Structure 1
């Protein structure tokens, strides 16, 4: 895998397809974060819509904006840059990948062949799972210095959004670690599947993979909004991830699908994270973050506790 290849567009006109590139940056010292996303939505009738998104988080103060335009997002082999204005938020930021193993492209899928295979229908890659940011952001009359913030860049696509999922990612700068995980359903004809889960954690140059997607008897996902827990076991040992968001510190984003009703993403970028791992080889360890977790729940309806709805 390379970041350039992982960020290559997969969409084709005249097909049902939705594809996004997204960037997240967190202040290591406080519950502040910024999230950017560029989405391309294609339909079989030949129509194509490009959307730019931004969400900002500062404790329980949040804002989110969407507009039909191309987000200024330039991606290279070593990082990226974005600048623009949406609503009352303006930004000019750049990021560079972590120079060590933590910054190498990450995939939750067990095989590179699955990236363009029919199963699973929805794909997710993290070309830059750990990145360092520089630049600034202005929110109303307030200015944020983003120098030294940490985060990631991701890429996902499919014929439509999953019927339901929870996705989470967290960088642990002091421990030199990163975790990414997902639990989601897929469409099986007129029905939806049980939850399938994957989890990958890197600590230094060691990677622990829990990526046997269909090995459901070794997965224990619980999507109990605003808390998601995931227990995994397999050849790598055992892992348990717990992520919890404050609904007052989230935004609700309406995600359109090419050929079915809109879904709603309950989106936190300042979630509390606790991860415990018992490797098959090596000593057990635990990683925690009070406000550094990206946590998303996708569902068919919004919830009253999460505002604004965009």
Structure 2
């Protein structure tokens, strides 16, 4: 799916925009998380572009990370160019002195818009917008960071896009593929708590589950998620939409990285991310029996938080 970037039209409040992908080895706990982000602070200041890469491998002591920040990101008709790297429909290619990436993908699922109505993508609120350009895709190619190279041959994953003027006060993003006994299934779910003045809203959830070729919406305005979360674990109960969902996630602390994300203003979030997490979900559609879904390492678990009390080491790279 080709998408025109939005950062060229950021107003005086500034903004951020990311194109990202995540791909996981279906046979063993290895994964790639690659993100191209444009960030512009408030006022009429030039935008900066950043490329973030994390390589996960449970056989290694810790994930391998790389980040480079460059001036003058370029908005393309169908993507973004940062330095020598272009992120566009079906491919991302680039490199620098410490890393190189050359990935292609084929999308096997139609795009997913997380917000419940198209109008919300055109209004100022919510201040963060999210969509999955390919909620399930097959990746091929290579990514190298330092002495570590990963070669992808049909790895399943996702391609996503988000933008806005402010991050949510707290958020959780889940993506799951490589589910036991359901090779074509996928889950893509976002939860957020939004700051309104001095108050913070309850959790709001939106996303979808595709199972046996049928897409089921998750969450929505009437849903009331019950969330128990840490930087490396989640227990979620969700009603609403087409089904009821009970879900647990466990991310190995040694395979969880913490990055610093900046709002266009002065605030900062710590973001814990693991792309080789274990997930177990019981799904009960309204018109059918309960289904158990499980993956030992095919889930991505991301938790964004304003506090820094998670106890995990923080990557030395700032944002932007």
Instruction: Report the TM-score, using the length of structure 1 for normalisation.
Output: 0.89
Task: Specify which of 29, 42, 45 is matched with residue 43 of structure 2.
Answer: 45
Match of 2:86 in 1: 73
Q: How does 1:87-102 map to 2 (within 5 A)?
A: 87=98, 89-98=99-108
For the pair 1:190 / 2:182, whether they are aligned, the reply is no
Match of 2:4 in 1: 8
Deviation of 1:235 (Å): 4.3
Q: Is the 8 A contact 1:16 1:160 kept in 2?
A: no
State the secondary structure of the residue aligned to 1:68.
strand
Deviation of 1:147 (Å): 1.2
Match of 1:212 in 2: 220
Match of 2:185 in 1: 177
Structure 1 residues 8-17 or 294-303, which shifts more? 8-17
Name the CA distance, whole Å, in 2 between partners of 1:138 and 1:52: 13
Relative to structure 1, is the Cα distance of residues 144 and 66 closer, same or farther in structure 2, using a 3 angstrom cutoff? Answer: closer
Instruction: Report the TM-score, using the length of structure 2 for normalisation.
Output: 0.86
For the pair 1:155 / 2:165, whether they are aligned, the reply is no
Q: Is the 8 A contact 1:180 1:199 kept in 2?
A: yes
Match of 1:231 in 2: 237
Deviation of 1:83 (Å): 3.0
Q: Which runs of 4+ in 1 moved over 6 A?
A: none
Q: How does 1:275-290 map to 2 (within 5 A)?
A: 275-290=281-296
Stretches of structure 1 that go unaligned for 5 or more consecutive residues are none
Q: Deviations over 1:249-271 (max 9, x none)?
A: 11111111111322111111111
For the pair 1:273 / 2:274, whether they are aligned, the reply is no
Q: Deviations over 1:37-89 (max 9, x none)?
A: 1111112322211111111111142122221121623322xx223232473x3
Stretches of structure 2 that go unaligned for 5 or more consecutive residues are 71-81
Name the CA distance, whole Å, in 2 between partners of 1:58 and 1:85: 22
State the secondary structure of the residue aligned to 1:113.
helix
Q: Is the 8 A contact 2:219 2:241 kept in 1?
A: no
Q: How does 1:54-133 map to 2 (within 5 A)?
A: 54-59=53-58, 60-69=61-70, 70=82, 72-76=85-89, 79-85=90-96, 87=98, 89-98=99-108, 103-133=109-139
Deviation of 1:198 (Å): 2.3
Structure 1 residues 188-197 or 288-297, which shifts more? 188-197
Q: Deviations over 1:290-310 (max 9, x none)?
A: 111111111124433345443
RMSD: 2.0
Q: How many residues align?
A: 297
Q: Is the 8 A contact 1:21 1:154 kept in 2?
A: yes
Q: Is the 8 A contact 1:18 1:161 kept in 2?
A: no
Q: Is the 8 A contact 1:63 1:251 kept in 2?
A: no
Name the CA distance, whole Å, in 2 between partners of 1:167 and 1:126: 12
Name the CA distance, whole Å, in 1 between partners of 2:313 and 2:131: 27
Match of 2:17 in 1: 19
Relative to structure 1, is the Cα distance of residues 235 and 146 closer, same or farther in structure 2, using a 3 angstrom cutoff? Answer: closer
Q: Is the 8 A contact 1:266 1:306 kept in 2?
A: no
